[in-house]
Amino acid sequence: MEVTRVRWVGAAMIAVAVAGRPCPADEAAGRAAEVLREANVRAGLCALVGGGPPSAALAVELARAAPGLIVHVLDADAGAVAAVRGAAVKAGLAGRVTAEHWTLDRLPYPDNFANLLAVSSDACRVPREELLRALAPGGAVLLPAGAGGARQKLTKPRPPGMDEWTHHRHGPDCNPVSRDSIDMTTVPDRLRWAGDELRCWSHAIRTAGGRVFVFIRNTISARDAYNGVSLWKRSYEHVYTGSAPSAAYNRPVAVGDRVYAHGSGGGVAIIDAASGEVLRTIDRPERLIELICAESPSGPALLLRDANAVSCYDGRTGEQRWHFAAPANPKVVAPLG
């Protein structure tokens, strides 16, 4: 599964950044946009850490530019920490922008936790090994600019042997057994984060693309799988998630950066996993019985079954690839010969 267990209760996505000096709001906005563009991260926890006083304006602008981001400042300068806290309150961002007095060379985060670590000062005492330890798979570390003037970027691949749970019964083959092969003796047996969805059934949870999705009736919520940050929560008027125990089939599917959920009629909504926005819908006259998504040479293939036929659609564009009649009830099929 995406979520390994370690000690820490909370929800935060981390960007560690250091500003060498205070800057005007317009300059800070430009710098924030540059950091987000280079890191390719727009949701989670953002922290400003290093050897010099961080810019309160930069912390605020990072939070403004990326509403799904939590900004956490770690700095040895108590005055700079106070300035960040004051700026956060003034901007109405207290809670999303926080600051902490920190003088150690070890970050206060579990392994595989932070999504973005941006260091702009050579005076930062935190070594690269420690930055990579705290970095979540798929995240980025931005180091200070070198002699060439360009910032260095470090990334962390997904650990081998870490599986996902994309369908009701694990995957499109409906075999309810995870393929995790990580040595569990190396995984701390402690709570990592706690969510607030207490009414869902275990079969209404999916993990894909570093995210955890929970389905309750017509509502879908998404959190970062590594640190529990709430990414989005939306209700859909015509989407049925099949979260009740009696709904054995047609439950939602999460694969990569897409979520697939069927409507109250026979259609299917293709949802952006990063934002919850409905990208497109597949209209179908028949009530859906089963929905699975499998990888194919031409991209994700969405397979839909109703009482009379099986259809295949492109998982990204929603265009139909093929369709054939196949009654679900064997008694309907005429005898051969």
Report pLDDT digits (tens) over 90-139. Answer: 999 999 999 999 889 899 999 999 999 878 677 778 899 999 999 999 99
d(CA 222, CA 214): 7
What is the three-class DSSP state of 130?
helix
CATH for the stretch 184-331: 2.40.128.630
In this prediction, the residues of the chain whose per-residue pLDDT falls under 50 are 1-22, 245-246, 248-249, 334-337
Tokens 């960007």 label which residue? 15
Contacts of 85 (CB under 8 A, 6+ apart): 94, 98, 99
pLDDT of residue 266: 65
pLDDT of residue 23: 52
CATH architecture of 15-155: 3-Layer(aba) Sandwich (3.40)
Among 265, 269, 292, smallest CA distance to 280 is for: 269
Residue ranges of the chain assigned to CATH 3.40.50.150: 15-155
What are the φ/ψ torsions at residue 83 (nearest 5 degrees)? -65, -40
How would you classify residue 249: left for phi > 0, otherwise alpha for psi between -120 and 50, otherwise beta?
A: beta
CATH 2.40.128.630 boundaries in the chain: 184-331
